[in-house]
Homo-oligomer: A and B are copies of this chain.
């Protein structure tokens, strides 16, 4: 196993996910940053942090773009540079990539990477409309399809090919709510039964209300540095040892296969190769369960099981702690919530907590290597990160 560290994470923070009334996205980012700074007393943020990289999906939500200076000014970081990235629901994974390259290039030693999205101030139709901008305008949006419909088509194709049922999908929701109920930062801290999921109303057949992730406000961040500087800031660094980014054609009609994500498979292959690890080496993973079907497909795209076997992996309980590969012990997008721009580094935050042994009742014992899988839109973009605990 190689796995040369690319950069080190020295601290991380997450604003509580949920309906955060009365707060702007910039204030949520401040809340996330405060946690990160508080847990890293050796870091002097205004002195040490040289640039900020922030992911946000849609300026429509708050009628606010120019997110770099907006969040940076609120942290008192001007005139230091700040940049925004957008890759739909993978926007903050893109911010982390930008920040990582900036550090690896030698331009900066220490940077802040994160993401925000403030969604609950908008009505559900407005949210649905803003989210739809991540799909293809002339060939998808124009015809009225929105994200539940796009993922419903993937679910239908998967069910048809592999004989999966709505019950298979429901197992994902039950598991992720089980963990959400144990995560104080999660949006929905309640358990649900298989019956409750199966009897919830249809949003887009076969996807029901409890197959869908949440409309959530949130922010998340990490502070990264060159590996050799990590111990200056913390005794418990976590290293990024693998990263892969890839994409697929934007519109679903233009994909080879709806039962898998080419972008995710490519991204995973690159990340595994770079990290020098295999799927079986991963101790814990956060995957992009924007809809339950997406988690099942993610298992397969990440190589945790063979094609068509993801439905059984979850039904057999193999993705709980104690199983073959624990997935979404944070509650996932399904129960922790999905403030789209904050999701990518929010996943990184949860893996970071697992690797430093702070996941509480959701802890995977002895977790050493973790992975995040973050999709943009209908998997037109994907990023995979592999993290390793410092020795």
Task: Evaluate contact between A59 and B62: CB separation under 8 angstroms.
Answer: no
A65 to chain B: which residues have CB within 8 Å?
57-58, 86, 88, 133-134
Task: Evaluate contact between B245 and A81: CB separation under 8 angstroms.
Answer: yes
A84 contacts chain B at the CB level, 8 A cutoff: yes
Task: Evaluate contact between B101 and A135: CB separation under 8 angstroms.
Answer: no
Q: What is the minimal beta-carbon distance from A201 to any residue of chain B, in angstroms?
A: 28
CA distance A106 to B107 in the complex (A): 13
CA distance A87 to B70 in the complex (A): 10
How many A residues touch B, CB cutoff 8 Å?
62
If A79-B263, A381-B82 touch, whether A66 touches B245 (CB-CB below 8 Å) is no
A98 to chain B: which residues have CB within 8 Å?
83, 85, 98, 101
Q: What is the minimal beta-carbon distance from A143 to any residue of chain B, in angstroms?
A: 13
A82 to chain B: which residues have CB within 8 Å?
247, 381
CA distance A65 to B134 in the complex (A): 5
A206 contacts chain B at the CB level, 8 A cutoff: no
A327 contacts chain B at the CB level, 8 A cutoff: no
Of the stretches A248-256, A294-302, A350-358, the one at the interface is A248-256
Task: Evaluate contact between A133 and B69: CB separation under 8 angstroms.
Answer: no
Q: What is the minimal beta-carbon distance from A110 to any residue of chain B, in angstroms?
A: 15
A24 contacts chain B at the CB level, 8 A cutoff: yes
- A residues 35-59 near B (Cβ < 8 Å) are 51, 57-59
A68 contacts chain B at the CB level, 8 A cutoff: yes
Task: Evaluate contact between B107 and A101: CB separation under 8 angstroms.
Answer: yes
Closest to A262 in B: B79
- A residues 150-165 near B (Cβ < 8 Å) are none
- A residues 251-291 near B (Cβ < 8 Å) are 251, 254, 262-263, 266-267
A81 to chain B: which residues have CB within 8 Å?
245-247, 267, 381
Q: What is the minimal beta-carbon distance from A107 to any residue of chain B, in angstroms?
A: 6
Interface residues of A (CB under 8 A from B): 24, 51, 57-60, 62-70, 72-73, 78-88, 94, 97-98, 100-102, 104-107, 132-138, 141, 245-251, 254, 262-263, 266-267, 376-377, 380-381
- Please, could you name 7 A-B residue pairs with CB atoms under 8 Å apart, sorted by A? A24-B137, A63-B137, A65-B133, A66-B86, A78-B262, A84-B86, A101-B102
Give the 8 A-B CB pairs with smallest separation, nearest first. A104-B105, A81-B245, A69-B380, A65-B133, A101-B101, A73-B249, A66-B134, A69-B247
Q: Given contacts A66-B380, A73-B250, A83-B87, could you give 9 more A-B pairs where the C-beta distance is less than 8 Å?
A: A59-B59, A68-B247, A69-B377, A81-B245, A83-B98, A84-B86, A84-B87, A84-B94, A101-B105
